[in-house]
Amino acid sequence: MARYATTIRTDLSPSEAFAFVADLANLPQWDPGVKAAKQVRGDGPGPDATYKVTLANPPLMTLTYTTTSVDREALTTTLVATQPWFRSVDTITVSPAGDGADVTYDAHLELRGPLALGDACLGRVFKRIGDRATAGLTRALDGATVA
């Protein structure tokens, strides 16, 4: 299993930041690894939200992310994509920070089946993908990465 977590501080209000990041339809605006994303169930981030996310790198593949938990009061949500060969669990948490917000994106990726043997190498690749997404999200939120 590989994990990538990042926190970005933005001047957006916590509710504005959560509405943007928790809505995976916005992924193409900030994640260069995503070609397209469309909500196919629900209306914005919420308990019924399901998204089809098409990755940008060949071979093009579409993942289905389903919301498994959401707490609008605590501004946290978890979305899961499960394929026969991997599982991705992404948790987004937004908290107040001064006049703005801290946005934490915590992703866990686990290879499954015969590919699970490659889990040891997954961390390096996942870090490169995560670093590019962090740079894009930092720009989209007009924020700064928090150590």
Predicted confidence at residue 49, as pLDDT, reads 95
CATH number of 2-146: 3.30.530.20
Phi and psi angles of residue 123, each rounded to the nearest 5 degrees, phi first:
-55, -45
pTM higher than 0.75, yes or no? yes
Using the structure block, give the residue that is written with the tokens 């007009």: 142
Predicted confidence at residue 143, as pLDDT, reads 97
- What is the side-by-side order of every strand in the sheet holding 2-10? 34-41, 50-55, 62-71, 76-82, 86-97, 100-111, 2-10, 144-146
Task: List the domain boundaries for the chain.
Answer: 2-146
Predicted confidence at residue 113, as pLDDT, reads 77
Cα–Cα distance between 49 and 45 in angstroms, integer?
6
Cα–Cα distance between 102 and 97 in angstroms, integer?
6
- What is the chain's pLDDT, residue by residue, as a tens digit (147 residues)? 889 999 999 999 999 999 999 999 999 999 999 999 999 999 989 888 999 999 998 777 899 999 999 999 999 999 999 988 889 999 999 999 999 999 999 999 988 877 766 666 777 888 888 999 999 999 999 999 996
101 closest CA partner among 38, 18, 21, 14:
14
